[in-house]
Amino acid sequence: MSGMGYGTLYVNGINVDPSRRLDPGWTTYTQRVLYVSYDITQFLKGHSTNCIGVQLGLGFYTNEQWGGGVPAPAPEVFGPPPRLLLQVNIILSDYTTMNITSDTTWLGREGAHRKDNVYMGTIYDTRAERYNWSTAGFTDPYSLWLNASLIESPLTSPTGQLTYQSMDPIRISPYALHIATSASRTGYKSMPPGVIGGNVMDGGVFNATPLASQQVPTYDISQNIAGYCTLTITGRKGMTVSTRHAELLNKPGVDGIKYQGLNSANYQIISASDDFIIQGNPHEILTPLFTYHGFRYISVYANYINIESVVCAAIHSETTLIGNFTSSSLVLNQIQHNILWSQLSNIMSILTDCSQRQERRGWLGDAALSVDAALFNFDLYGLYVNFLRNIADVQHEDGSIPDTAPYSVGGYVADPSWAHAYPEITWRIYQHYNDTAIVKQHYAGIQAWVDYLTSRAQQSGLANMYFAYGDWETPANYPVTNSSLVSAFSYLSD
């Protein structure tokens, strides 16, 4: 099954894998679309009518997610509407096979998601939910269900491929992180004294603590995560419950701030909010499905609502903690703790640069700098193999590659220090996994990139590289190195 951007599969009213989120992974949709597979045998009813349903979200398959580039990407080739490609392969008791495919006989409607956006969040109208909608015999007198339409494939590239998603999926905690025996022996099951935050080995689920000092109901989970919150509430039908997320709180009197509440200045244009219009049932559970936020603090805006609980869960690509350490230094222990959480918050089918603002892109520079440390801490083989394939998918015939993969923002051609990720990640996978196949697979592409760099350097000289970010975010009052020399170093090391 492939839902573009995201799809959640139901069989006879049951979510077949409820811990999965944001599936399938993000790719260059004109070049490659991923599909996922499920064993649904246990959900089928023999000698009876069965029903299959899919809930679709836009994900990165929408114009809203795309930013400017040099030159700008072409967002017009992407949705909405969301799309579905599904095939059920059934092996019968006599070993004959039967296939069921999604076609125009399938029925669909606008569901309870009035908006879903990875960055901006969700608007969800629970009054539009239809219980048992994915069960046989379901009828709906309140909604208009229409036959599905055939839509042109997004795979417009001559070499476009529908590819099985071989990497581990994004999951919610505690199903997202496994602990290798060696890591639990050499690391810590309980955090060293003095380290602040949540222990990664505790499962990544946090019961939010209300903060008494805030004017709006505000909660603290004591750890910066990438994820979402589930609210249990009771209130009047038709009322709206809104959650806002932030990594920081305002401190009145500091930097001219005169009010309390969330400080989301670093989110820039991102609202990081989820809005729910409630049914009015007691103990209603509200959970966003097709988004995530980077946050520690949550404010809940609601009138005539009883907030019974706020529980937050981290999400990330499924992985195993394989390395960890403690020392006699509180500073080093805190740094390692922060590194683990930062790495988990930025593995979302691709390697992202941050988890909260309007970036969350596959910036190659960030991936290059972090790959070695990440592979010492976590088993991320499949994730990095997929990321290399994303890079190869956006490489031009002349060997050039962009700053991001999938290409959604930044320069095309990339700064050499950013595109250094292509050889660097390949080399680190070889070092950590003794995988010669990955080197063979990408050697020609890396050689083409280096040849391209060589031709450009011969034209301009090393002190005047064609494009250079330089030493990014140099601290104030420090000397700034010639940007071209920084990029030239990366070229020479490649």
Distance in angstroms (rounded) separating the CA atoms of residues 376 and 184 = 14
**CATH topology assigned to domain 2-165:** Jelly Rolls (2.60.120)
Low-confidence ranges of the chain (pLDDT < 50): 75-76
DSSP track, 433-493: H--HHHHHHHHHHHHHHHHHHHHHHHHH-GGG-S----STTPPTTSPPPPHHHHHHHHHHH
Q: Supply 41's token pair.
A: 């045998």
CB within 8 A of 145, min separation 6: which ones? 107, 108, 109
SS3 426: helix
- The confidence score (pLDDT) of residue 75 equals 46
> Terminal CA-to-CA distance of the chain, rounded, Å?
39
Among 297, 314, 292, residue whose Cα is nearest residue 202: 314
- The confidence score (pLDDT) of residue 254 equals 64
- The confidence score (pLDDT) of residue 187 equals 60
- In this chain, the answer to whether the domains covering 200-317 and 346-493 adopt an identical fold is no
- The confidence score (pLDDT) of residue 67 equals 55
Distance in angstroms (rounded) separating the CA atoms of residues 474 and 133 = 55
pTM over 0.85: yes
CATH architecture of 346-493: Alpha/alpha barrel (1.50)
Q: CB–CB of 118/292 below 8 Å?
A: yes
Q: What is the tens place of the pLDDT at every residue in 335-370?
A: 999 999 999 999 999 999 999 988 899 999 999 999
- Burial tier of 369 (Cβ tally within 10 Å: 0-12, 13-18, 19+): middle
Distance in angstroms (rounded) separating the CA atoms of residues 6 and 289 = 10
- The confidence score (pLDDT) of residue 68 equals 56
- Burial tier of 172 (Cβ tally within 10 Å: 0-12, 13-18, 19+): buried
What residue spans of 224-354 are helical by DSSP H?
330-344
User: What percent of the chain is modeled with pLDDT above 90?
Assistant: 71
The domain ranges of the chain are 2-165, 200-317, 346-493
**Which CATH code is given to the segment(s) 200-317?**
2.60.120.260
Backbone φ and ψ for 445, nearest 5 degrees, come out as -65, -40
